[in-house]
Amino acid sequence: MNTSTSKSPQAAAGAGVAPPRLARVAKTVGGILSFSSLALGSARFYKVSSARLGPGAFMLSIPKVLGGSLAPFLAVAGAVGAAFGLSALWLERGKVPRTAKRSRLGGGTRALGAGAPLDILAGLTGATLNAVHTQRVAASRGSFAEAFGADWQEQIPPN
């Protein structure tokens, strides 16, 4: 007869306590979505100049083009990443954080103990940047005649 009081992760999940693996997955997925949204959303704030950066400067324009064209999806990805970060915080509620060992390289965000809160901040910032960009691009900028002149119809050649 087994009198062990330890519960398996499946039993713990059924009892209302989430297994630590679920929180780790939420942090990982939330971090990937949040920081991807932030990185590609902030790429439009740097200038690419081949005179200053040399012949390989066109490689820096690739993230700018991707960030601009995928801005609506990146806004959603940032919000979803922040939601995953919130769920990771909720899943880890009541846990006392272990003291992180300091490595020579700093240990990243895990050593800071700021994994999920940093994911939330990055996700909300990336979602905001991309949503503002999408709104500015989609905003109406006047009529067709203002852009191409009052006689734009006369400029079209007949068949």
Average pLDDT, the chain: 79
Can you tell me the mean pLDDT for 28-53? Answer: 88
Confidence (pLDDT) at 125: 95
State the Cα–Cα distance between residues 138 and 132, nearest whole angstrom: 10
State the Cα–Cα distance between residues 97 and 100, nearest whole angstrom: 9
Confidence (pLDDT) at 112: 43
Can you tell me the mean pLDDT for 63-81? Answer: 94
Confidence (pLDDT) at 111: 43
Residue 117: partners with Cβ closer than 8 Å, 6 or more residues away: 85, 89
Residue 77: partners with Cβ closer than 8 Å, 6 or more residues away: 33, 34, 36, 37, 126, 127
pTM of the complete model beyond 0.75? no
Cβ count within 10 A of residue 127: 24
pLDDT at residue 55 greater than cutoff 80 = no
pLDDT at residue 29 greater than cutoff 80 = yes
Confidence (pLDDT) at 145: 80
Can you tell me the mean pLDDT for 8-33? Answer: 73
